[in-house]
Amino acid sequence: MTTLANPVKFSTAGSAKGAAQTINPLDLKKIRADFPILAQRVHGRKLVYLDNAATSQKPRAVIDAIVRYYEQDNANIHRGVHALSVRATEAHDGARETVRQFLNAGSTKEIVFVRGATEAINLVAQSYGREHVGAGDEVLITAMEHHSNIVPWQILCEEKCARLKVAPIDDRGQLRLDEFARLIGPRTKIVAVTHVSNALGTVNPLREMIELAHEQGVPVIVDGAQAVPHFAVDVRALDCDFYAFSGHKVYGPTGIGVLYGKAALLDAMPPYQGGGDMISSVTFEKTTYNSLPHKFEAGTPDIAGAIALGAALDYVSELGIDNIAAHERELLDYATEKVGSLPGVRLIGTADERVGALSFVVDSVHPHDLGTILDREGIAIRTGHHCAQPVMDRFGVPATARASFAIYNCREDVDALVNGIRAAREVFA
Ligand SMILES: Cc1ncc(COP(=O)(O)O)c(C=O)c1O
């Protein structure tokens, strides 16, 4: 990993709209150099990568961690007494401790490695949900969920003859907290909410939501896929019961993610999958299960992925998550002002609290056409429903264009996007 000899300097006064770029451009240059992929040209143009909400790019530290693991330490964990297996096990355990610290969880028992946010949510739905949700019961979600925090609950509700309740959002893409509170009732068995909307960038008032649910004795699972990359998450301060995120959106590799769960809840839950490593003893008559978190980690895990996720979180911590948050906030303000003031552009999602993503539609230019035209300029954005079709329905659009930001993005990237949108409008004028 590139060690920043001079840590990134941020001005605290820089988050106001139109304020000067708060990150020292030299430091940003250094950060960009940590990401080899950014050096390439696409269609002969400098790559402007603004699709970070789909997946972020990987710093050299993460790529090196994967290569190093396979070149030097590759072995299966937990089962071997030989040196390589011991090293691999230690590195894997170390990554779990890194995740624990990153989320401020109380114990590594509460950190379950999974494939990603999707698998984490399915795990809770299929394990906790199946035990606690019955006929006539309710699961409460919000209208801004990603499909991965809708469909697992629909599957559960169908199986159990339970009902999926949906807390509405307003015209700016903010949760109607009054409605959310009203919808938590005696039949509510679990609340499943996103911390940050991937389609709107809205940050939910999670602390208040969790308090409201807990007042009624209802546990809360949080989909943190779009939060963890952008600001500090403290699961103990939030007092959430479960928290899910994906490694690949926070500079780590694909195929690895995390489910945080309070130990008492995880302990009482049945396993999600059966197989090696999740057992303590097996006979044909009876199997007893392993201790936490291994009870939920059947089979050989993504060892390299977990180790590389640890490297990604170390990278983020070295830059400072608060520094990243400040830089991205300034960039999002800048983009909101520049893109939002373009003629013919309508922003979708204008909540007071937003991070990471800017969704918009452009008059007479279909988002897919816009995406294609921008791609020719080397600019990568996402177009479509962003796996949040109910959000599109709520705003009466089939799709949006979405620019989403990471630590390596700069004002020039936003300027390129703005010029590209202008050019697209001219093509379709
Ligand atoms: C808010 C949100 N939740 C969940 C997911 C699913 O993440 P993954 O596909 O990595 O499991 C995403 C991915 O875009 C997301 O944005």
Residue having the nearest C-alpha atom to atom 16 of ligand 1: 198
Distance in Å, CA 61 to ligand 1 centroid: 23
Q: For the chain, what are the domain ranges?
A: 16-50+320-427, 63-317
Q: Do domains 16-50+320-427 and 63-317 have the same CATH topology?
A: no
CATH architecture entry for 16-50+320-427: Alpha-Beta Complex (3.90)
CA of 248 to the centre of ligand 1 (A): 10
Scored b (16 or more CB within 10 A) or e, 158-172 reads eebebeebbbebeee
Q: Is 246 in the pocket of ligand 1 (CB under 6 A)?
A: yes
pLDDT of residue 24: 62
pLDDT on residue 25: 59
CA of 281 to the centre of ligand 1 (A): 35
87: left (phi over 0), alpha (psi -120 to 50) or beta: alpha
Q: How far apart are CA 246 and CA 254, in angstroms?
A: 8
The answer on pLDDT for 391 being more than 80 is yes
Which residue minimizes the CA distance to atom 14 of ligand 1?
Answer: 54
What average pLDDT does this structure show over 98-113? 98
Angle of helix 321-340 relative to helix 411-428, nearest 10 degrees? 30
C-alpha count within 13 angstroms, C-beta hemisphere, residue 68: 13
CA atoms of 121 and 223, how far apart (whole Å): 8
Catalytic (active-site) positions: 387
| Beta carbon of 223 within 6 Å of any ligand 1 atom | yes
Query: According to the model, what pLDDT value does residue 14 have?
Result: 33
pLDDT over 90, % of the chain: 92
pLDDT band at 429 (very low <50, low <70, confident <90, very high): confident
| Paired tokens of 272 | 């999600």
If you take atom 12 of ligand 1, which residue's CA is the nearest one? 225
Tens digit of each residue's pLDDT (9 = 90 or more) over 217-269: 999 999 999 999 999 999 999 999 999 999 999 999 999 999 999 999 999 99
Bridge partners for 383 per DSSP: 401
63-317 belongs to CATH 3.40.640.10: yes
Output the pLDDT for position 22.
53
pLDDT digits (tens, 9 = 90+) for 318-353: 999 999 999 999 999 999 999 999 999 999 999 999
27, pLDDT greater than 80: yes
| Neighbouring C-beta atoms of residue 255, cutoff 10 Å | 19
| pLDDT for 79 | 75
Atom 9 of ligand 1: nearest residue by CA position: 118
Q: Which atom of ligand 1 is nearest to the CA of 194?
A: 1
Q: What percent of the chain is modeled with pLDDT above 70?
A: 94
pLDDT tens, residue by residue, 164-192: 999 999 999 999 999 999 999 999 999 99
From residue 365, how far is each of 276, 335, 361 by CA, in Å? 52, 19, 8
For a mutational test of ligand 1's pocket, the pick from 196, 226, 405, i.e. the residue with the most ligand atoms closer than 8 A to its C-beta, is 226
What's the rounded mean pLDDT across residues 111-120? 98
Mean pLDDT of the chain, nearest integer: 94
Distance from the alpha carbon of residue 146 to the mean position of ligand 1, in angstroms: 7
